[in-house]
Structure formats: structure tokens, C-alpha cells
Structure 1
Amino acid sequence: MRIVLTALALGLALAGGHASAQSAGDDLAQARAAFEQRDFKTAYARYSALTASPYGAEAAFVLSVIVKDGYGVVRADPAQALVLLRRAADGGEPRAIGTLGMAYLEGDGVPQSLEEAKRVWRRGAELNQAPSLYNLGYMARFADRAPAEAAGWFERAVAAGDTKSLSELADLLDRGEGVARDSARAVDLWRQAFAAGAKEPPTKLAQAFFEGSGVAEDAVKAQAWALVAEKAGNGVSLEARNVIASKLSADQRAEAARLADRCLAAPSADCP
């Protein structure tokens, strides 16, 4: 399930506010550096000293990660980790909110409950946290089969800077599910998603250019996107590629290859 996940994969790069005391800010920087370097003993000590600081929510979250598995620093204690995780989530820590929601979704240390997971993520949504907005959109679309609600969450997630939501919203717009159909905007969102690293959009864009959906029909650009899709690891079917190629001359196929290479070299600037 493509849900925003937890723990170490979530990283420590936060845009922290200015410290009320310079020493607390310095301690936080050292704690983050230790955790990123997997020096869990130092990270545990430094974050433990920050629990009563303005960075207490972040400290509680990272301590919950360390305490849950131990990492050779402390005895693994999932129950205490959950206490710390709840404290961090109550403090509005984005990764803690995402992690606690996932715990309820998967029944990890708590009774499994989709409704409780959504309740936790709604807390994140109230704080305009992109991961929670995406998760709510994903669950609305695929668990609740509520495309209109999903579109609303994905719109907010995109506005909050969530790149995963670009493709989800584009799919709904292209199909007119829960929203008025807008294939032109879908194409724009797929381009943005590809520039942000998503693998799925090239296949969608190849189809859009081949069919003239949201853009002017253009078999050369369709072939270019089909080539990009193949090299990005999410290729168009051989049958579809052959259909596109059958409409092109040798010169046009060469031009499509040139466009594809240029796009792969600069996804954010030089794609058709």
C-alpha cells in the first residue's frame, strides 16, 4: 500500500523554528546529526535532554523510534515507544502523526482500526501536514471509494507540497471521478509528478499525446513519452509501442528518441 510510512525512512529533515535558547538549538542540531549518522547512543542521550524543550515533540518521536527496537542502546520496549509516540503526536509532530495512524491501520501495538487511523491523520490535516492529507486522500479513494472526498484531500496535499498526490489527483481529473473532468490539468500534474520522481506519469502522458486527451494529438511526443516510460522502469506495453511507432517515419522516430533523451536528462525542464 502506497501510504506514507514511518521510522527511519521518514528522515530527520525538518524546518525547525528558531530556538528560544541558542543552546537548545545547538543541542537539537547535534541530536539530529547523531541520529542521521546512526549513532543511536548519542542520539538517545541528546534527545532525552530535549524532551522538556521547545523541541520536545520531535525528541519524543525519535526516542519512540529508538525505544521500539532498542538499537543496542536500551531494552526494546514497544509499550513505552507507543507512549512516546502518542506524546509526539499530541505535540503535532508530523512524522509521529503519520506513524501513529499507520500503527492503527496495521494493528501494530494497538487495536487495528481504519477509523482511528483516519482520526489521527485528521489531526495532521488540521495542521495542514502533507503526509496526513495524502493518507486521507488515499484511504478515501481506495478504502472508502469516495472519489470526491479523495480529490479534496489530494488538492490540499498538493497545495501543501506533497508530490505523491500529484499523480493521484491527475488520475481523478483525467477520469472525471469525484471532480469535473479536466484532462489538460491532469497532463500538467503528471508532468510535475514525473519531474518530482514518480515513475507512473510517462505511461499516462504517452497515452494522452497519442489520444489527444488534454493536449494536441502528437504521435512523436507519444512515442517520446513511451521511451521515457520504458527507461523509467514503467514501460508502455509492446503492443502499444508498436501502434505508436507504426504512425511514425524513421525521422520522426529519431526525433522521438531525441526528445526522450532530453527529457530524461532534465525531467523538470525539457520534457514534451
Structure 2
Amino acid sequence: MAQSYEEAVRWYRRGAILGNATCQCNLGYMYQYGKGVPQSDKAAVGWYRKSSDLGNENGKMRLGYMYRFGRGVPQSYRKALELFEEAAEKNNPDAMRNIGWMYESGKGVDVSYETAAGWYRRGAELGDASCMDSLGLLYLHGKGVPQSDKMAVEWFTRSAKNGNQYGQRDLGHMYESGKGVIRDLKEAVHWYQMSADQGNVTAKGRLGAMRRADRP
């Protein structure tokens, strides 16, 4: 069946009007990204809020995202964090990743690498590949956790094998530099290529540099 965003919107709207929180969240997503409807952050926020008010974890997470970036609402890290925490209570790994980022970067809260690591770990244990990569970076730089190249490689590997372009890029770097693993340029190229195939600019740059270095 051919994909039809307009048809999806029609069904989401029917469910949303009947009070289905998942349909409300999905309809908000369609408005946020202009799929099957004119793009409208304001409309997206309206539907995310209805979904959130009904306790939907994804509605809360997406509404928090809108507050984080000030899309359709006044920008507020405090409100974003509040919504992310509510979603995280329902084991939403996207929310956990956002909370980790806020503590790591000091947005709306005091910087706490230890707290960031805790949230990234929770998300990683739920299978979130971005949390795996973020936790690996904390191990690489010894922020909030004991510095460990070996642990960094472990989390980058898990992230990379779950298809995350940043985990693939970072794992490529570890193989290129020989940090936490035996240096293996062939393996580095493999992971850089995987990342580059997803559009990662840094990985593309490293591939180019390695190929130039191989020229006689």
C-alpha cells in the first residue's frame, strides 16, 4: 500500500477527537514535521499537550522537546525538564537521554556529570543507542564516571551495533587511535563508513583523511 500521510492524519484525527492519547501524540508529530498537514508548531503543541494531559509518555516527551527548543511555546528548560522527568517515570528512554543532556550541559540545572551518567545508563539499559554513545563519551573523558577507554569502547560498540551513527563514528575513532582496543585501521574504516553512510560529516572527514594518508 502506497504511503499516504493525508490518510494517516485522517485516522489519527478521528482517534484524537475521541480522546485517544496515542493518536493525539501522533497527530502532533504530523503537524510538527508537516506530514499530511501544513507544518505548525502551535498545532503540534496543542495535540502534544492533550496527549500529555492524559498521561501519555510520548506526548510528555515531545511536549518537553518543544519547550526545550522553544517551538510553539516560550522556551523553558525548567518546563522541559519537568515533562522529561514525568516521561522518564514511565521508562521513556528518549526522555532519559534528554535529561542526561540537560545535566551534562547545565541547561536549566547545575552541571552534574554523575547525574547525567545515571540517566544515560538508565536509557542505555532500555536499549537506547544514543544513550549508549553518550555514556561511552563520559567514560572516554572521565566525566561522572572513572575514566576508562575499555568501557568507552564497550558502550560505543553497543551503540554502533544498534545502528547509531555517532556510536559508529566514535567506535571508528577508538580503532583508529588504538584506545581501549588494538589499533586496527581496517576496522576503523568499517565503522567510519557505516557512520558516513548515514550522513555523518565527521566520519566522512576521517575517511577522506585516511584515504589521503594511504596515497603514495
TM-score w.r.t. length of structure 1: 0.61
Partner residue in 1 for 2:100: 137
Q: Is residue 119 of structure 1 aligned with residue 82 of structure 2?
A: yes
CA contact (8 A) 1:229 1:236 kept: no
AA in 1 matched with 2:169: E
Which of these two proteins has the greater Rg computed from alpha carbons? 1
Map 1:159-174 → 2, pairs under 5 A: 159-174=125-140
Partner residue in 2 for 1:62: 26
Q: Is residue 206 of structure 1 aligned with residue 169 of structure 2?
A: no
- Residues 157/78 of structure 1: CA separation in 2 closer, same or farther (3 Å cut): closer
CA contact (8 A) 2:114 2:143 kept: yes
AA in 1 matched with 2:74: P
CA contact (8 A) 1:133 1:153 kept: yes
Partner residue in 2 for 1:96: 59
Question: CA–CA distance in 2 between the matches of 1:59 and 1:178?
Answer: 39
Partner residue in 2 for 1:154: 120
Question: CA–CA distance in 1 between the matches of 2:40 and 2:207?
Answer: 47
CA contact (8 A) 1:70 1:76 kept: yes
Partner residue in 1 for 2:141: 175
Deviation at 1:189, TM superposition (A): 1.2
Q: Deviations over 1:181-202 (max 9, x none)?
A: 3332221111111212223223
Q: Is residue 50 of structure 1 aligned with residue 15 of structure 2?
A: yes
Question: CA–CA distance in 1 between the matches of 2:21 and 2:139?
Answer: 37
Q: Deviations over 1:4-49 (max 9, x none)?
A: xxxxxxxxxxxxxxxxxxxxxxxxxxxxx9xx92342x33443344
Map 1:229-248 → 2, pairs under 5 A: 229-232=191-194, 233=196, 234=203, 235=206, 238=209
TM-score w.r.t. length of structure 2: 0.75
Partner residue in 1 for 2:186: 224
Question: CA–CA distance in 2 between the matches of 1:82 and 1:204?
Answer: 39
- Residues 188/69 of structure 1: CA separation in 2 closer, same or farther (3 Å cut): closer
SS in structure 1 of the partner of residue 15 of structure 2: coil
Most deviating of 128-137 and 105-114: 105-114
CA contact (8 A) 2:58 2:92 kept: no
Deviation at 1:77, TM superposition (A): 6.8
Question: CA–CA distance in 2 between the matches of 1:127 and 1:174?
Answer: 30
SS in structure 2 of the partner of residue 110 of structure 1: coil
Q: What is the CA RMSD across the aligned residues, in angstroms? A: 3.3
AA in 2 matched with 1:58: T
Between the two proteins, what is the percent identity of the paired residues? 24
Partner residue in 2 for 1:196: 162
Q: Deviations over 1:127-147 (max 9, x none)?
A: 110100011111211234321
Question: CA–CA distance in 2 between the matches of 1:142 and 1:224?
Answer: 34
Most deviating of 155-164 and 89-98: 89-98
Structure 1 or 2: larger helix share? Answer: 2
Question: CA–CA distance in 1 between the matches of 2:73 and 2:17?
Answer: 26
**For this pair of structures, how many residues does the alignment match?**
199
CA contact (8 A) 2:30 2:36 kept: no
